[in-house]
Amino acid sequence: AQSVTQLDSHVSVSEGTPVLLRCNYSSSYSPSLFWYVQHPNKGLQLLLKYTSAATLVKGINGFEAEFKKSETSFHLTKPSAHMSDAAEYFCVVRGLTGGGNKLTFGTGTQLKVEL
Amino acid sequence: NAGVTQTPKFQVLKTGQSMTLQCAQDMNHNSMYWYRQDPGMGLRLIYYSASEGTTDKGEVPNGYNVSRLNKREFSLRLESAAPSQTSVYFCASSEISGGPSSGANVLTFGAGSRLTVL
């Protein structure tokens, strides 16, 4: 079985300060991992993905994430938050199951950016 | 560049009514999916279609039916709506490249359909 845990349901930062959104996963196989962002009343948009290449993955809008197998983590970071980053962020794991590929979504982290 | 288009965006139903959510993609993707999003629960897969002509149950299929009408269109039907089906529904599509052990099954999402069942 596979699962994904987003450790914080809400994160609040000041504009210009670093962002850290935490994600831990479990998977029986070498997983693919993704971060998606959802702005209010919008669909989800892919931020970045890890697929067994470089462990440090760079995404759009200055976000990046590091795959750490020993810690089963895939935390999302950004050096300096912008007001437009306020959104909900979902960590997603893809692994093999008996029926083929399966995507498992985390429960989301709501990021608030304050002036 | 429409991507994934869902209709309607909003719908209010009474318990027991039926309705169909429509989804169409113009990216020539092979796979299509229906998810529901509920507060604090992330997205849960209702049904998916790995290719034209096939459909399979996801995590929460009860109370729903789907039809993969052609490669572009994948509809979700509620035959007898219940208050527990109040949710935001997302359609998504993907082009699966490589085999199951390679590549990345990146999803493209529609903007969502907000359904309220009274």
Mean pLDDT in runs of 10 for chain A (115 residues)? 90 98 87 91 90 87 94 96 96 70 86 96
φ, ψ of residue A61 to 5 degrees: the values are 60, 30
Torsion of the alpha carbons at A56, A63, B113 and B118, rounded to the nearest 10:
100
pLDDT at res. A101: 62
CB contact (8 A) between residue A51 and residue B43: no
pLDDT digits (tens, 9 = 90+) for B22-38: 999 999 988 888 999 99
pLDDT digits (tens, 9 = 90+) for B60-84: 999 999 999 899 999 999 999 999 9
pLDDT at res. B100: 35
Helix, coil or strand: residue B18: coil
CB contact (8 A) between residue B40 and residue A107: yes
CB contact (8 A) between residue B109 and residue A45: yes
Judging contacts by C-beta atoms under 8 Å, the chain A residues touching residue B50 are 100
Mean pLDDT of chain B: 88
Asked if A78 reaches chain B (Cβ–Cβ under 8 Å), the answer is no
Query: Measured between alpha carbons, how far is B98 from B114 in angstroms, rounded to an integer?
Result: 34
